[in-house]
């Protein structure tokens, strides 16, 4: 195995009825006034908001609220919130929601000390400081509750890019699987696909890193099995809890230990796709793009692709494994083609060019426009 550094400072509080601890966690760290961020209001319907605010009140934590963070979060919303808190004394950000809310919180935490947070996304500056970040996870998908990454879309440029910094690891994340029991089925599936995709981005570059690769295979199989269980038994707490924990482990550093930086081509293509079509959920886009990428790239690391086919899908043939993967996604009620997502072929070149705007794309080979168009055609 090559040398690597594994570092994750996030404290996880996991289990039933754990939201009530957020106030004590903030108080223990000396926080007095926080920014509370949320999405469209579902946390008021499922009781999460009431639990959070009670815990804050009980621990004498003041807060300012901002709502309306949407799926595929956008830069303009981060700007709006940053402008509204300018000059106000805030000593932490609390994200209550899924990856979109957490990523926006990370952008605001860093942007609080910058002239323009997009300069960090545009690789013009390095993030060297951020407000402390705390999260209460309501949708398991992105792993943002336990990693140093964030993604936002610049709507005017149609660029869905990411930032990364050790200052963006949440200090504490609370994961109560009970609050995810009421999620719409489509959000559960989007999360499961996203989590599996995170694992595969690392896994396929592996060769002799058998410990990490075995962990990755177990995580993929757990996510698939638990999603199947939830499809037939939506109130299965054990399945929900295992899915939630697997999704967190999928992108907290563990799944990539020793696998260098992985190959994130599928994610960059999907980012370009949903930057142009913001109503396409990230997980739905990955469920279409990733099988096509596997077919296109399978000859670049034959042994590992074949091992994935055998150990995850029970076949020695990679194409058959891809078909099984697509059949599973179909069974879950999700699209497996760009046609189903209403993305026409005349947009493929635009999506390819948009993908390459971020710079170098691909680990096995540096992707060119024609490579990405070929992948999109396989996904059509």
For CATH 3.40.50.1970, the residue range(s) in the chain are 11-178
- What's the CA gap between 128 and 248, in Å, rounded? 25
Angle subtended by helix axes 99-111 and 75-85, to nearest 10? 50
Q: In terms of pTM, does the model score above 0.95?
A: yes
Q: Which residues contact 207 (CB under 8 A, 6 or more apart)?
A: 301, 303, 304
Per-residue pLDDT, 1: 81
In this predicted structure, the answer to whether residue 30 has a pLDDT above a threshold of 90 is yes
Coil, helix or strand at residue 115: coil
| CATH architecture of the domain with range 11-178 | 3-Layer(aba) Sandwich (3.40)
CB-based contact 212:60 (threshold 8 Å): no
Facing residues of 95 across strands? 37, 135
pLDDT value, residue 298: 97
Mean pLDDT score of the chain, rounded to an integer? Answer: 97
173 DSSP β-pair partners:
12, 135
Start-end of CATH 1.20.1090.10 domains in the chain? 185-379
**Tokens representing residue 158 in the block:** 């149609």
Q: Is the pLDDT of residue 305 over 90?
A: yes
Fold assignment, 185-379: Dehydroquinate synthase-like, alpha domain (1.20.1090)
Q: Are β-strands 93-97 and 11-14 bridged in parallel, bridged antiparallel, or unpaired?
A: unpaired
Query: Is there a contact between 178 and 198 (Cβ–Cβ < 8 Å)?
Result: no
pLDDT single digits (tens) 86-118:
889 999 999 999 999 999 999 999 999 999 999
CA distances from 4 to 81, 153, 261, 301, 361 (A): 37, 31, 10, 21, 22
């Amino acid at each position: 195995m090559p040398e690597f550094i594994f570092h994750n400072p996030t404290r996880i509080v996991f289990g039933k009825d754990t939201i009530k601890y957020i106030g004590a966690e903030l108080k223990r760290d000396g926080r007095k006034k926080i920014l509370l961020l949320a999405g469209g209001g579902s946390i008021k319907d499922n009781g999460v908001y009431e639990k959070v605010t009670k815990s804050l009140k009980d621990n004498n934590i003041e807060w300012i609220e901002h709502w309306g963070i949407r799926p595929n979060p956008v830069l303009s919303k981060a700007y709006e919130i940053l402008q509204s808190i300018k000059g106000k004394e805030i000593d932490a950000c609390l994200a209550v929601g899924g990856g979109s809310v957490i990523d926006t919180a990370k952008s605001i935490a860093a942007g609080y000390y910058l002239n323009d947070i997009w300069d960090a996304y545009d690789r013009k500056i390095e993030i060297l400081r951020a407000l402390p970040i705390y999260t209460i996870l309501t949708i398991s998908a992105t792993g943002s509750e336990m990693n140093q990454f964030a993604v936002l879309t610049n709507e005017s440029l149609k660029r869905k890019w990411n930032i990364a910094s050790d200052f963006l690891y949440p200090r504490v994340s609370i994961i109560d699987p009970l609050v995810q029991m009421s999620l719409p089925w489509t959000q559960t599936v989007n999360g499961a696909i996203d989590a599996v995709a995170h694992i595969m981005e690392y896994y396929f570059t592996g060769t002799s890193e058998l410990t990490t690769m075995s962990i990755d295979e177990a995580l993929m199989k757990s996510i698939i099995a638990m999603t199947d269980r939830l499809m037939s038994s939506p109130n299965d707490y054990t399945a929900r809890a295992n899915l939630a924990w697997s999704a967190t482990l999928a992108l907290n550093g563990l799944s990539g230990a020793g696998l260098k930086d992985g190959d994130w081509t599928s994610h960059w293509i999907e980012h370009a796709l949903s930057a142009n079509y913001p109503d396409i959920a990230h997980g739905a886009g990955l469920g279409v793009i990733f099988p096509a990428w596997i077919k296109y790239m399978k000859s670049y690391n034959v042994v590992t692709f074949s091992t994935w086919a055998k150990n995850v899908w029970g076949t020695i043939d990679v194409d058959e494994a891809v078909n099984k993967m697509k059949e599973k996604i179909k069974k879950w009620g999700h699209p497996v083609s760009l046609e189903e997502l209403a993305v026409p072929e005349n947009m493929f070149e635009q999506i390819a060019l948009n993908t390459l705007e971020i710079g170098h794309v691909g680990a096995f080979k540096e992707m060119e426009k024609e490579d990405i168009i070929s992948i999109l055609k396989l996904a059509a």
